[in-house]
Amino acid sequence: MTKKNIVLVLVCFFSCMVFFPSCSTVNTVERETPTGTRQPIADKRIITDVTLNRKVSIVGLNEGATNGGFLQIQIEVLNLRNSMQEFSYNIEWFDKNGMLVSSPSIVWIPKQIEGRETMTITAVAPATTVKDFRIKLIENVR
């Protein structure tokens, strides 16, 4: 191997070190047959940010009710990449007439999800009159 080739190999190696840092992913273990019964719901998706959808994706929606009669939802989010991703989510709540129910608890919440991690986000409706919801995801802009 010539001196020139050795230099080239070293340059390539250090470039890889800089541009492809080691990614840490999450290993998961769970019960093979879950005992809890989920109430999955069919969803409709409007994807405007394909890049985000390729990184962080909603893989499941589960709904229930609290003891006080509030609608409770669980969103299962999966990081499709090997590196940590940052995103924010927001949930809007609607009553039986489809009207938005306002509450101080409706905020964009930032989240970090590790590589290949599955994260469950839980939300409780602000009023018992809430019947529907809409989930929004955005890549962190700050």
Partner 1 sequence: MKTPSYSYLLYLPFVALIGGCATHTRYVEPTGPRTIVTTEINIQDFSYAAEDMIKSLLASGVVDKAPQQPAVMAISRIVNNTTQQIDTDLLTKKIRVALNQSGKVLTTTTVGIGNVAEDPLAKGIQQEKEFQTGKGEPQRLPDFSLSGKIIEKRDRLDDVHQVAYVFQLSLTNNEGLAVWEEEKQIAKQAKKGLIGW
**Residues interacting with partner 1, by CB under 8 A?**
66-68, 70, 72, 88, 102-110, 122-124, 126-128, 138, 140-142
CB of 16 to partner 1, least distance (A): 24
CB of 1 to partner 1, least distance (A): 38
Distance CA 123, CA 68 (A): 14
CB of 128 to partner 1, least distance (A): 7
CB of 22 to partner 1, least distance (A): 18
Residue closer to partner 1 by CB (options 50, 141) is: 141
Residue closer to partner 1 by CB (options 71, 117) is: 71
Distance CA 58, CA 74 (A): 11
3-state secondary structure of 66: coil
3-state secondary structure of 90: strand
Say how far residue 136 (Cα) sits from the centre of its chain: 10
**β partners of residue 118:** 78
CB of 89 to partner 1, least distance (A): 10
Residue closer to partner 1 by CB (options 15, 66) is: 66
Distance CA 133, CA 47 (A): 17
Residue closer to partner 1 by CB (options 31, 142) is: 142
Query: Quick one: tokens of 109?
Result: 């919440």
The continuous run of DSSP H or E covering 71 comes out as strand 71-79
Query: Quick one: tokens of 75?
Result: 């969103």
Residue closer to partner 1 by CB (options 28, 122) is: 122
